[in-house]
Amino acid sequence: MGKALTTRFLFVAALFGLAASAPSKRTSPITAPVAGTSITTGTSIAFSYADLNECHEGYTPITVWLSASQPTSLDSNGNLPAGTFIEEFGSYLIANFGLAPLPTPPPTSLVIPDISSYSAGTDLYLTVVETNQAGTCPPGSQPASYEFTSVQLVVA
């Protein structure tokens, strides 16, 4: 009887589109630069980030980094661990829901620091860490959480 019930459930679920499916891969919220962008010391590259804003905050804090390897973890404060990055471009606030920008909106471009110690063809990574602020995610008393994403850049 258990197997027959399971079979009926799966049939009904499939009929109504309720069957489980593999989760879709989230598109990177870094919309500029694109993967594979060539960079050199002192050049300006376009920067754009579409925040996830999973807690529906009025302002979303982000921090932007450049590193020699693709980050796999953050420290307890939501930063790339010391010694793992080349440059911290800064922390910014993205205005949501039509709110007025605060004095620290994300820049539309970033200037590449001195990367002359890296040979042509070396991959570097632009990483954005998005902070979900403490207390704003349901049920309301959650600690801050962090999402991060990277895009690969190539030393020219």
pLDDT of amino acid 54? 72
pLDDT band at 132 (very low <50, low <70, confident <90, very high): confident
Q: What is the pTM of this model?
A: 0.78
Residue 128 has pLDDT above 80, yes or no: yes
Amino acid 135: pLDDT: 64
Domain ranges in the chain are 28-155
In this prediction, residue 139 carries a pLDDT of: 67
d(CA 124, CA 108): 20
Cβ–Cβ under 8 Å, residues 88 and 128: no
The residues with which 67 forms a beta bridge, in sequence order, are: 125
Q: What pLDDT is stored for residue 58 in this prediction?
A: 87
